[in-house]
Chains A and B, each alone.
Chain A
Amino acid sequence: MTEEAPKKLVELRDLQLYFNQGKANEVRAIDHVSFDIYEGEIFGLVGESGSGKTTIGRTILKIYEQTAGDILFQGKDVTHLKGKQLAEFRKDAQMIFQDPQASLNGRMKVRDIIAEGIDVNKLASSKAERDQKVQELLDLVGLNKDHATRYPHEFSGGQRQRIGIARALAVDPKFIIADEPISALDVSIQAQVVNLMKELQKKHSLTYLFIAHDLSMVKYISDRIGVMHWGKLLEIGSADAVYNHPLHPYTKSLLSAIPVPDPEVEKARQHLEYDTSIETDGKTREMIEVNPGHFVLATPEEAAQYQAQQV
């Protein structure tokens, strides 16, 4: 799926973000994380609750300010963007949220929610054009035109999530961060939203950062996957490599926890417990390329071990 010489859209370089820095309750939400997201790909980021996935997404979008490290978007450092350039960046990078209930303002009509980006960036010159655009966006996500005048609470979870997607697409972004866009939805609706996101990605040549704690959907949608734990990136590689040939014990544990809709498989499935001591022993570890494009956070000895364990 990776093309020849893919262009980097987003680059994280040794990113760090500490909440309450220097205080007793300091949290290292992002701890020396580096990775690239290529143009046109879906990059999946997984990890358990509290591992720092949301924080990474929000830091890229400049909602949080990093403690150290750089974020590059299309080759340019976005850390100190201001004014017009910031506005441009805001248009290019958008977000889809986890909780479809909380991400829509209940006091606004669906039309005005979707048109918010159009209004801010003055993308429509008249009311008719604005309505026209909203109409197209509703169409795009499979909603009806009479939904434009309704309020969010009248919709089901899946429909609300589609409204959120329409809002993000209104400014015609290049890059979308989807922060657990399906965790709050039913399984059957999850497929609906995931398929819609895939379809839109092709149609609008979008790049996604897709955040989730469940590897099975991530594997299905992503080209490459990064695995996080306690603010560190532990493993990164193609979706197939991470899912089918995991290297890091944490990834293995995470994979073993996924329930599979097959009673026979379930009877045999054994959840592997993860021994966190390998993260707290104080040794320095680096991202080591064990297989082409497949990196793991390890000491050189561990890397050799991981390599040897592969079948």
Chain B
Amino acid sequence: MAANTEDFVIVGAQSSDANEHISKPALSFWQDAWRRLKLNKLAVISMWFLIFILAFAVVSNIFVPQKAANAFNSDKVGVYKNLPPNSGLPIPGWDGKIKAPGDTTVTDVYASQGVPDGERFILGTDNIGRSVAKRVIVGLRISLLVAIVATLIDLVIGVAYGVFSGWKGGWVDNVMQRIIEILSSIPNLIIVTMLGLLLGSGILSIILAIAMTGWLSMARQVRNMTLSLKERDYVLAAKTLGESSSKIAVKHLIPNMAGTIIVQIMMTVPSAIMFEAVLSAINLGVKPPTASLGSLISDAQAMLQFYPYQVLIPSAMLVLISLAFILLGDGLRDAFDPRASED
């Protein structure tokens, strides 16, 4: 021990300032969640994929207007129809060659149908010669529009309904919950068919159908959360401070269920997209010539055996988007719930 005597004088305690110091960096709930989300590679990839798709869908309005995707030259259907995807590179299956119906050998369809040199369709064409790439882009926009509308409805109607019902409690809650039960017991298809009869099939009917039923599970979840959160001490504290109910909802209830809400949206969105696809597939969806991913799949499925790419490309798109939402939702759930990952 190298200590000398002046080390043995009493210096006493430090000031409270030094004493109460916190050395961890300040992290808000969101920063903390983001930090945990970043640990989940799949979720991050999904997130960037969705951001990219969304940005692409918005920007694509400029160079692929709806009209261009619907238009076809009725004189040249024979030339342009059912061209396989052609990347211009000698990649098997993506070089404009395909086994024509009945053939056993691969033929260069572009040459045999007399497509002018240099004209290529990167994802091929459909049975009346429209570019599949353009139609998929438009379909994507429709699907994303449906997704956005579903999200908004979920947020606005679902959250508000749930918070109100849970906060009021008593008979109000009882009545509101019964309404939810009634609505969710009506099969969606019946609602759409009725709406279709009333308004004609089309994007508006789809959106209204989603609006009528898509928010139910959100409302239920939010209401359950509200029931438990409203008993929390900080809500009681706000009450005793005289805070109004609407302020309490905005300041205390909703921020504390943000995690649940976001995760719920991540589940609603893919099901809304799928719902649209199913409707379009059974001809209750968008009206031709408008394309949606669902209508593209159903239009092409008759030819699945001969021109599989016409089904596979929009299907792949649909699956990828839904999968990305689900994976991101999973990652978000873990990120918002610190118990799941223990650091």
Q: Are A and B in direct contact (Cβ within 8 Å)?
A: yes
Question: What residues of chain A have their CB less than 8 Å away from a CB belonging to chain B?
Answer: 58, 61, 63, 86-87, 90-91, 93-95, 97-99, 102-109, 113, 116-117, 120-121, 142-144, 147, 149-151, 154-155, 159, 164, 167-168, 171
Segment 219-269 of B: residues with Cβ below 8 Å from A:
232-234, 236-243, 247, 251-252, 255-256, 258
Q: Could you list 6 further interchain pairs (A-B, Cβ under 8 angstroms) beyond the known A95-B240, A106-B29?
A: A97-B237, A105-B252, A107-B29, A147-B20, A150-B22, A159-B20
Instruction: From the candidates A91, A95, A109, A155, name the one contacting B237 in the complex (CB within 8 A).
Output: A95
- A-B contacts, 30 listed (Cβ < 8 Å): A61-B240, A63-B236, A63-B240, A90-B242, A91-B242, A93-B240, A95-B240, A99-B233, A102-B232, A104-B234, A105-B251, A105-B255, A107-B29, A107-B255, A107-B256, A116-B237, A116-B243, A120-B242, A120-B247, A121-B241, A142-B20, A144-B21, A147-B20, A149-B26, A151-B28, A151-B29, A154-B22, A154-B26, A154-B27, A167-B241
A63-B239, A94-B240, A120-B242 known; A150 and B26 CB under 8 Å? yes
Query: Which residue in chain B gives the minimum CB-CB distance to A142?
Result: B16
Query: A159 to B243, alpha carbons, bound, how many Å?
Result: 24
Query: A86 to B244, alpha carbons, bound, how many Å?
Result: 12
Query: Which residue in chain B gives the minimum CB-CB distance to A151?
Result: B28
Q: Which B residues touch A164, using CB under 8 A? A: 237
Q: Which B residues touch A155, using CB under 8 A? A: 22
**Inter-chain contact A106/B233, CB cutoff 8 Å:** no
Q: Which B residues touch A90, using CB under 8 A? A: 240-242
Instruction: From the candidates B26, B233, B241, B258, name the one contacting A103 in the complex (CB within 8 A).
Output: B233
Query: A155 to B22, alpha carbons, bound, how many Å?
Result: 8
- Residue pairs across A and B with CB atoms within 8 Å: the count is 86
**Inter-chain contact A102/B22, CB cutoff 8 Å:** no
The 5 closest A-B pairs by CB, nearest first: A103-B233, A90-B242, A107-B255, A97-B233, A117-B241
Instruction: From the candidates A94, A105, A120, A154, name the one contacting B24 in the complex (CB within 8 A).
Output: A154
Query: A91 to B241, alpha carbons, bound, how many Å?
Result: 6
Query: Which residue in chain A gives the minimum CB-CB distance to B29?
Result: A107
Q: Which A residues touch B258, using CB under 8 A? A: 107
**Inter-chain contact B242/A87, CB cutoff 8 Å:** yes
**Inter-chain contact B234/A120, CB cutoff 8 Å:** no
Q: Which B residues touch A106, using CB under 8 A? A: 29, 256
Q: Which B residues touch A97, using CB under 8 A? A: 233, 236-237
Query: A58 to B247, alpha carbons, bound, how many Å?
Result: 21
Minimum Cβ distance to chain A for residue B139 (Å):
39
Q: Which B residues touch A151, using CB under 8 A? A: 26-29
**Inter-chain contact B251/A108, CB cutoff 8 Å:** yes
Q: Which B residues touch A121, using CB under 8 A? A: 241-242
Minimum Cβ distance to chain B for residue A177 (Å):
9
Q: Which B residues touch A99, using CB under 8 A? A: 233
**Inter-chain contact A147/B22, CB cutoff 8 Å:** yes
A120-B243, A151-B26, A171-B241 known; A144 and B236 CB under 8 Å? no
Minimum Cβ distance to chain B for residue A220 (Å):
23
Minimum Cβ distance to chain A for residue B168 (Å):
15
Minimum Cβ distance to chain A for residue B343 (Å):
14
Q: Chain B CB within 10 Å — which of A93, A117, A143, A149 has the most? A: A117
Query: Which residue in chain A gives the minimum CB-CB distance to B258?
Result: A107
Query: Which residue in chain B gives the minimum CB-CB distance to A98?
Result: B233
Query: A120 to B16, alpha carbons, bound, how many Å?
Result: 31
Query: Which residue in chain A gives the minimum CB-CB distance to B24?
Result: A154
